Amino acid sequence: MFKLTLRGGFTWGLSLKHARSFSTPAGRLAGKVALITGAASGIGKTTAKEFIKHGAKVVIADIQQEIGQQTATELGPNATFTTCDVTQEPHLSNAVDFAVSQHGRLDIMYNNAGISGSAAFSNIADLDLAEFDRVMIVNARGVIAGIKHAARVMVPRRSGCILCTASVCGMAGGLAKHPYTVSKFTIIGIVKSASSELCKHGIRINCISPFAIPTTPLVLDTMTELFPAATADGVAKIIHSAGELEGAVCEEKDIARAALYLASDDAKYISGHNLVVDGGFTSSKRFGFSDIDQ
Q: Which residues are catalytic?
A: 180
Contact 113, 37 (CB under 8 A): yes
Contact 170, 188 (CB under 8 A): yes
Q: Specify the pairing of strand 11-14 against strand 2-5.
A: antiparallel
Residue 126's contacts (CB-CB under 8 Å, 6 or more residues apart) are: none
Contact 233, 224 (CB under 8 A): no
- Phi, psi for 244 (deg, rounded to 5): -105, -30
Each residue of 256-275: b (16+ CB within 10 Å) or e?
bebbbebbbeebeeebbbbb
Residue 292's contacts (CB-CB under 8 Å, 6 or more residues apart) are: none
- Cα 4 to Cα 1, 20, 141: the distances in Å are 10, 16, 57
- Cα 49 to Cα 77, 79, 188, 200: the distances in Å are 12, 9, 25, 31
Q: CA 38 to CA 165: how far, in whole Å? A: 10
Q: CA 120 to CA 68: how far, in whole Å? A: 29
Q: CA 135 to CA 217: how far, in whole Å? A: 16
